[in-house]
Each structure stands twice: as C-alpha cells, then as structure tokens.
Amino acid sequence: MEILNSLNEKQREAASHDKGPILVIAGAGTGKTRVLTHRIAYLIESGKAMPWEVLAITFTNKAANEMKERIGKLIDYSIDKMWIGTFHSICVRILRRYIDRIGYDKNFTIYDTDDQRILIRDCIKELDLDTKTYNNSSIKALISNEKNMRNTPDNYIKDNYGNFVNRNKGEVYSLYEKKLKASNALDFDDLIVKTLKLFETNEDVLELYQDRFKYILVDEYQDTNNVQYNLIKILGKKKTGENNVFVVGDEDQSIYGWRGADISNILNFEKDFKGAETVKLEKNYRSTDVILNAANGVIKNNFQRKGKNLYTESEVGSLIRILQSDNEKDEAFTIAAFMRQEHREKNIDYSEISVLYRTNAQSRALEEGLIREGIPYKIIGGVKFYDRKEIKDVMAYLRLILNQKDDISFDRIINVPRRKLGQKTMDIISRYAELKGISNFEACFETDKLELMPSAAKSIEGFVSMIEMLMIKKDVMPLSEFIVDVVESTGLKEMLLQDETVEGRSRVENMEEFLSAAKDFEERYLENSLEDFLAHISLLADIDKTEDAVKDSVTLMTVHSAKGLEFDTVFIAGLEDGIFPILRDEDDDIEEERRLFYVAITRAKRMLYITHANDRMMYGNHELKMKSRFLKEIPAECIEESDSMSFGNKKLQRLESNIERRKNSFYASPAPSAENKPKLKSDNIALGDKIRHKAWGTGTVVQIKGDGKDEIITIAFENEGIKNLILEYAPIEKI
C-alpha cells in the first residue's frame, strides 16, 4: 500500500499487522511515532476500520496532538471523530456518558493539583493533625500511589494499623475520599480508577466500548502503571478473542518506576495476550555508530529486557570524550570550554547543545560556570537554581537578618514554615508599619499596640526573637556554619524533610547544594561575610537575566526531562558513583539507573561528552569521588579519555584570552578595579610554595602555567600524587 512505502521493512511489518495483539519494541530514534501514525492511517485507508473505531492512547497532550496532525496529513478522512488522547482524556469521555452507573452525577468536577492540596489541607485540619508531621505533598503522593494500586482507605488503615502516623495518614485518605464524593468530584487518578470500576460492574458498557474499538494502540507502553495496564487489558481482551491490541515501547527506556511505572507490563505482554507477535525496531535514524555502540554496550548489562541491538547506516562519527575534572567548578568550566569550541569551530548552534544531569541540584555549579563564561542557557523541566522556592526562602531569611527594613523578604518568610498567621494579621502589621513609617519587621516589636489575637502575637514574638538571635550569630560564626544554623533554627530543614515525595527529596538536595555554594564561597574568598555572599549571588542572578532575550541557548535539564528529545551535542555531567548512579539505598534499582544512562546517551545525534570530577562539594563538605561504574561498561573502542594534565594544556591552547572573550561576550562587564577585585585565598602563590588543599592535604607547587582566569597550577601532594588545578577555583591556602 502506498501509505507504507516510506517505511523500512520492520516498520512496515509492524504498521501493516492485520489481526491479533502485537508488541513493537522500538529502540531510541527508530521512528516509533512514525509507525503508530502510519498504522492508524493504514487501518483507515485500507477499510479495516472507520476513524471512530480506532482508539490511540498517549501519555501527553502534546504527543496526542502531534499524532493527530501527522495522521491528518496522511489520509483524507476527518480526524475529529478519532479517539486519540491521553489515558485521562479518554476516560473523561467515557465517564461523562456513564458515570451515573457508579453513583456519580454526570456533571462531576475534576479537581486539579491545587484543588487536591486544598482538600487535603482541610482534611488534616478537620482531623486536628500536626501539619509538620502530616505533610500535604506526602499525603497527596500516598493517596495517588494507593489509588494506582487500587487500595482503598479502609485497606490501607487495616494494613498500617500498628503504625500510628501511617494510620492517621489513612484517616486523611478516608476523609479525602468522602469529601470528594460529597462534592461529586474526581481527582486525576480517579478518572482511570472509576472507569475501571464502571467496566467491571457494568458488563454492557464494557462490551459497548469493546465492540466500538476494533483496534487499540498504546504509545510508551513501558511507562504504564497498574491501573493503566488493567484498563488496556480489560478493553483489549474481548470475549470474541479478537484482541487487536498494538503497543509500542522500549523496556530499555523505562525510567519512571519512582512514579508508579511498572516495567513488567511490557516484559509480560506476550503472557497477558496469548499469541502476540513481537516486532523489534532497531534501525536508528538519530545517532552515529559510535554513540549507538556505546549505548548497546551499557544496556546489555541489564537482565530485565527483551534484548535488541541498535544500528545505523549513517557515519561512524567521533569518539565519545570522557573528561576528568578536579571538581564541580572545573567540570563546569570544562563543559563551557568545549561548548564554545563546538559553537565557534564547528558552527553548532547553542540551541543544539544540551547538558544532562541526574539531579536538579547539580545545575547550580553548571549554571554559575555558564554565566561566568557568557554562554546563554535555559532550564527545561524546572527553574533556575537561585529561582527555586526553597532557595528563595532561605535567601529571604538571610536578607532579613542582614537588613531588617527589607519588607519583601519579611513578607515572603513570615509564614514559612507556617506559623498560623492569617492575612488579617499581616494586614494589621503592614498598616501599622505604614502609619508609623517603619518596616514590617520593626512593627513586630510593638505587638502590644497591634491588637492581635494572643496566638498570633505569640507567633510574632517568637519569630522576632529567632531573627534577633540569628542577627547576633551572624557576626560570630563562619558563613557556612551560620547558614546551616539558619536553615535548622528557622524550621526550613524540618519542613523540607517532612515532604517524603521525589519532589520533596529534590528540594532537600537543592538546599544542601546551597550550603555547598556557601562553603565554596567561604573557601575561595577572603572577604566572605554574609553581605559578600549575598552580593555575589545577586550579581550572578543579575547577569543571568539578560539570557531571557537570547533564543540561541544551551539547554540544561535532568535526564528524566530529556526523554523523547534529541540534540546534536550532548554533555552528561557528574558520572560518579553516588551521583550517577545515585543509589541512596541498597534497595535502589541499579537497572533503572542504567536505563536512565542509556536514555542520556541516546539523546546525542553527533557528539557526546561525559564528565566526572575527582572532588565534589556535597552537603557543604568535600568528597573524593570515584568515576561511575557505568563508564567501565562503555566499549573501549568508543571512547577517548582526557586526563586532567592533557586537558589543562589543551584548554590553554584552545581558549581565547580572557580579555578577548570579555570583549566579544554578550554579557561583557567592566573588569573590577584592583582595589575592588575579590581577594582569593590562592592569591600570591608562587613556585615552590607549600600549600594545603581541603581534601588532598599538603603539597608543593611544582609548576604554574597561563595567566589570569586561565592560570593552571600543578601541585605534588604528599599522599595524592600530582594534581592540576585552575588556580582561581582551587580550594587551597599557603602554609
């Protein structure tokens, strides 16, 4: 058929499959969306199904819209009557017609995330539970998980009866469900759960939709959770035995286990649907041969997989560069240097370059490095480090401690963590301050004149006492120790730790990275007061603001956010054990971490760089790091390793002078005067000097090369051998 002529042999085999279940294992870059759209077009054009007899399920609205657009270009039929959408949108259409069968009115409301949070908050309040112990986000995640496992509140309470805290969480879940029902409302998880219940309790409705959908197609099948899997199973397994279920996925890209995705769904497809055919798409249209061989070499170490071997008919391509750095600052500088090289020498747009990392917290050092080097960037799937809520919160505390007239900072954190101060109380404070011509914080010293409720007055007085104590500590404690004290004494740390979700863990990591930034600043600069630190951050943020106007920007993101994307040049940062793979606990899944690395590798089309550091600041302390076990799994013939010495020399040769770079930079700023230039602890170090390194101990300076920002120092350490460091960033001091 002409519509299939543009497909390769395996793609055509999958798209033209006639009857019965079929599993399409589609490796990265093998054209799975192309196969899906051409199959739907083929079914309609060949007369095997009318448009409304095809059900196609995707995971995102973007994917659904893209599929509709592509199909519209392939066939003459209207796509308006097609059932193409996400699991949730498909279920809404069904429930709007038949939800009255299970005790709801058809005009039900769908509660979004914010609605859920408000409802959970009300439940916690009604049950008179401590908001610190019973965190809103954690309970929301618990409810979602239990619903996806189809576990009722009663069962959860029964299973956790011996655990006081969990039993109370179950009570919140129970009350939440009662309030939802009373409001004739469903949350997002309910949309699938209630559709399943409808089908299980109303055979006529189930048969209606089984008859309607002659062909069912599911994209990204490896990402399905328990209820999604059961929905496909109940719709696809017909009494007639005509199970025309077509699923596309890649078990090697199953990376969402933390949010409920179950890899066994794709691995067991042939067991669930007897007689299923399997087609493997292995011809890659994205990456070079070297990149694919590296990806194949890594992923073959997993046991939970069907097995496939990606190949390409395109060029062999350049070897993968493995770049070793001394620390995270040198890593960022190294990445920036090679980015500039790709951009200027090979004419690669910055928009075709991406930096991938395992955790959001890693972006801090990378962002600062790119800002310093004048390379524009944007962050996908998150916000820039110093714009993240938890970072802005601790910054507001620090600013208020420094400047008690800062009303913006006061307003931000007076109720963070929650102090049960309502808007009425805040209005009273601000009106009084305005009347007296004083700051909001200063107004809090006069609680006896504010006519507040006793509980509010007590909270305000406690807040003032805490800030006053921190104002005293600021002048007697080292910067990094002081910020640790602020995070702990204000309750920010406890508040973050209460959120046990993945997002909550990420916020904790961001806060720990902020402490590392403070420690790093303290070690590098002699003038390292709180004022200096806040000014340093403000200047970084100010420089970064100009980036918004630059369309040609490097993309920074976690590997999870990168799935489905591709770039000409990719940098994977932080390939060290404990970072990537992250592995916090013995129970962590090393195979999912390896799949994540596989996804990262296969985002690159032409050039791949992988970086790791010998020393990394973690939670405010230096840690010696071992390079990731995954690097050993890349075939040796695919890589080119650069040690620190060879890279340092090449860096000096390749980079333009600092003056020339500043002249041409979009972010050029006047050079600081001699008297205003920050003084480094590494200043005035000469050949033969004895020095002390925070992590590597004592050593002797044996060589100094380069000038200014690019000055490289070679040190012979007593216990660690010879190391090369960028002098500006080196955490050293003269003995």
Query: Which are the catalytic amino acids?
Result: 32-33, 219-220, 253, 603
| CB atoms inside a 10 Å sphere around CB 710 | 20
Phi, psi of 599 (to 5 degrees): -60, -45
Q: Cα separation of 319 and 311, whole Å?
A: 16
Q: Nearest 5°: CA angle at 243, between 240 and 246? A: 165
Those residues with Cβ within 8 angstroms of residue 622's Cβ, 6 or more apart along the chain or in another chain = 615, 616, 694, 695, 731
Position of tokens 């699991």? 87
Q: Cα separation of 405 and 653, whole Å?
A: 50
| CB atoms inside a 10 Å sphere around CB 248 | 24
Q: Cα separation of 88 and 92, whole Å?
A: 6
Host H or E run for residue 667: none
Structure tokens given for 436: 């007296």
| CB atoms inside a 10 Å sphere around CB 506 | 19
Position of tokens 């973007």? 62
Using DSSP, state whether 392 is helix, strand or coil: helix
Q: Is 428 exposed, middle or buried (0-12, 13-18, 19+ CB in 10 A)?
A: middle
SS (H, E, C) 56-85: EEECCHHHHHHHHHHHHHHCCCCCCCCEEE
Q: Is 55 left (phi over 0), alpha (psi -120 to 50) or beta?
A: beta
Q: Cα separation of 67 and 33, whole Å?
A: 7
Specify whether the CB–CB gap between 361 and 388 falls below 8 A.
no
**Residues facing 159 on adjacent strands:** none
Q: How many CA atoms within 13 Å lie on the side-chain side of 194?
A: 31
Q: Cα separation of 50 and 40, whole Å?
A: 10
Using DSSP, state whether 463 is helix, strand or coil: helix
Dihedral sign of CA atoms 188, 191, 194, 200 in order: negative
Q: Cα separation of 191 and 186, whole Å?
A: 7
Does residue 478 have a cis peptide bond before it, meaning omega lies within 30 degrees of 0? no
Q: What is the DSSP letter of 221?
A: G
Specify whether the CB–CB gap between 15 and 38 falls below 8 A.
yes
DSSP for 150-210, written as a single string:
T--HHHHHHHTTT-HHHHHHHHHHHHHHHHHHHTTEE-HHHHHHHHHHHHHH-HHHHHHHH
Structure tokens given for 50: 């009318």
Specify whether the CB–CB gap between 373 and 333 falls below 8 A.
yes
Q: Cα separation of 95 and 195, whole Å?
A: 7
Q: Is 336 exposed, middle or buried (0-12, 13-18, 19+ CB in 10 A)?
A: buried
Structure tokens given for 543: 């420089």
E strands in 332-415: 353-357, 377-379
Dihedral sign of CA atoms 696, 699, 705, 711 in order: positive
Q: Which long-range contacts (CB under 8 A, 24 or more apart) does 260-264 make?
A: 260/144, 260/145, 260/148, 260/225, 260/226, 261/222, 261/223, 261/224, 261/225, 262/224, 262/225, 262/226, 262/229, 263/222, 263/304
